[in-house]
């Protein structure tokens, strides 16, 4: 069965520092991967997605993610964090077509930003 693991429940970084949020997936076929961000009491906003092609994906708000098939990873990065990036981040993989194309979410990583 497909699964997504985000090993870090909570990360704190200083404003201006670089950020990497880890995501590992378990999926037999080519995965379709997403990163979403959720501010408190809000819905989810899509940061970026990987379907195929270039394994380094650029997203909104200066985020990027790299798909590494050999490591079953899709880590999210940002070179310089802003205080407004403090939020919950979710990695997700789409299930197979015959399974309804549902999203399987990781547990989420809460990002705090120190001034």
Q: Which is nearer to other proteins, 70 or 97 (CB)?
A: 97
The Cα–Cα gap between 93 and 10 comes to: 21
Q: Which is nearer to other proteins, 46 or 56 (CB)?
A: 46
The Cα–Cα gap between 31 and 18 comes to: 27
| 90 belongs to the binding site for other proteins (CB under 8 A) | yes
Contact yes or no for 5/97 (Cβ under 8 A): no
| 101 belongs to the binding site for other proteins (CB under 8 A) | yes
The Cα–Cα gap between 82 and 16 comes to: 6
Window of 21-29, 36-44, 63-71, 75-83 that interacts with other proteins by CB under 8 A: 36-44
Quote the least distance from Cβ 18 to other proteins, whole Å: 25
């Amino acid at each position: 069965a497909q699964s997504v693991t985000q090993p870090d429940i909570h990360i704190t970084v200083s404003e201006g520092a670089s950020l990497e949020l880890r995501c590992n997936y378990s999926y037999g076929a080519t995965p379709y991967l997403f990163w979403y961000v959720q501010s408190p009491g809000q819905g989810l906003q899509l940061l970026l997605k990987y379907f195929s092609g270039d394994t380094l994906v650029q997203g909104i708000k200066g985020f990027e993610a790299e798909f590494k098939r050999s490591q079953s990873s899709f880590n999210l990065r940002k070179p310089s964090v802003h205080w407004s990036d403090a939020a919950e981040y979710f990695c997700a993989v789409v299930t197979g077509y015959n399974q309804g194309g549902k999203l399987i979410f990781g547990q989420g990583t809460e990002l705090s930003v120190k001034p």
